[in-house]
Amino acid sequence: MDSASPRAKRPLHIKIFIGLAIGLFAGLIVNFFWGESATLDWLIRNLIAPVGQLFLRIIFMAVIPLIFSALALGVAELGDIRQLGRIGARTLGYTVIVTLISVLIGLFLVNWIQPGTGLSEAERQMLTGSLTVSSVNKTVQSAAEAKSVVQTLLDLIPKNPLADAVGAFDENYRGGGILAVMVFSLFVGLALTLTRSERTETFERFLQGLYDVVMMIIHMGMKLAPLGVACLVFSVVARLGLDVVVILGKFVFVVMAGLLIHLLGVYSLILKYRIKVSPWRFFGRIKEVILTAFSTSSSNVTLPTALRTADQNLGIPRHIGNFVLTLGSTANQNGTALYEGVTVLFLAQFFGVELTLVQQLTVIFAAVLAGIGTAGVPGGSLPVIVLILQSVGVPGEGIGIIFGVDRILDMSRTVINVTGDLTAAMYVARAEGYELELES
């Protein structure tokens, strides 16, 4: 999703950052002098906010085919894992448990610090209008609340996946929606691994083609992101002034704190007590991987560096390193899962949407699954966040609010993702009985 950065051509994330800065400063100035003006209101509603919506809508349009192809292919790959037996099972078990821990850390922090609260009801109304969100729909909320737990669970299995795909972005749709589409995609992936034939291979190649095409659509939408971010941030800041800047600052703090706790706390404990190596020596040896992940924001691009480091600096047997790291670069994304959970709850707080217990559990489930399904590319999380937002009744357009600060958080969560992959490879190698370097 990023462009290359020859000198003449600024990389996309720098342009987005510039868009953020322009939107922010222009918004603050306009808020200071003309905050209450009716003309400003008219301009935002009819011109600036709609321009800001353009790139979001292009990304939205890619969400359903992306989720279908990415999850089905992801499971088809997991199907190959089973052939690898024990190593596969260990990797999968480790991935699910450690991803769950990361999501819970994030959710604990976001519930505790409440970065998204603090707007008054009037400000919220204004904000909803400025994003041209068709009002945070109370009927959806009551509809979702009225459904029993059993019915919610049953609805996860779609009777008609096409109806769920069509209803996925409809606030009044009462079926399983996007989660049901995810479940359907999982089934397709599973069935694909169980029917290996020439014809199903053609189908798998079709899915790969679909996935590539959809990624290109997202890439095209992202070209409009700098302008979009400037307009969206302007629309919000011109109306709400400094309040919203403070709220965004708190959001960045919560994500960073969660990522650091996972990196220095959870990984260190696993390294020291389960793998029995020195965490500090481990971190010292993987410096190059950390820097590559931070500067590229992509687990996939970092994979070659990670493979070399596992082999040369950590002494992980090659067959284990290759397998765990390749799979992990898309399937084991602890930082991403944490980020997705925090962002969804943050935006729910921001829009004043109370999430029921079932909805919070949905977020946890979806974030863990999304940690497995998110592409290891810059901004890979963003379409997935839209999807989870929709599934719990928070307006997907809300993602526009965090777009401006996403890149720095992307760089940071990618570091956690690849460090997590290397830790997973160490764990599997140790569990398989191999001696490792760096014994503590």
Q: Which residues bind ligand ASP (CB under 6 A)?
A: 297-299, 333, 336, 374, 376-381, 410, 413-414, 417
Residue closer to ligand ASP, measured from CB, 180 or 388: 388
Closest CA to 179 of 339, 419, 364, 405: 364
Q: For ligand ASP, give the closer residue by CB, 28 or 293.
A: 293
What's the rounded Cα separation, in Å, for the pair 218 and 221?
Answer: 5
- Give the torsion through C-alpha atoms of 399, 400, 403, 404, to 10 deg: -150
Q: Which is nearer to ligand ASP, 14 or 47 (CB)?
A: 14
The distance of closest approach from Cβ of residue 120 to ligand ASP in the complex, given in angstroms and rounded to an integer, is 32
Residue for token digits 């905050």?
A: 35
Minimum distance of ligand ASP from residue 68's CB (angstroms) = 19
Helix runs in 35-176, H state only: 38-43, 49-83, 86-113, 121-130, 138-146, 149-154, 161-167
- Cβ proximity of 263 and 416 under 8 Å: yes
Between 185 and 333, CB nearer to ligand ASP: 333
User: What is the Cα–Cα distance from 181 to 117, expressed in whole angstroms?
Assistant: 31
Cβ 55 to ligand ASP shortest distance, Å: 16
Amino acid at 321: G
Residue closer to ligand ASP, measured from CB, 181 or 377 = 377
> How long is the chain?
440
CB 417 to ligand ASP: min, Å: 4
CB of 374 to ligand ASP, least distance (A): 5
Select from 269, 290, 286 the least CA-distant residue to 412: 290
Closer residue to ligand ASP, CB minimum distance, 143 or 411: 411
55 and 45 Cβ atoms separated by less than 8 Å: no
- Min dist CB 47 to ligand ASP, Å, is 31
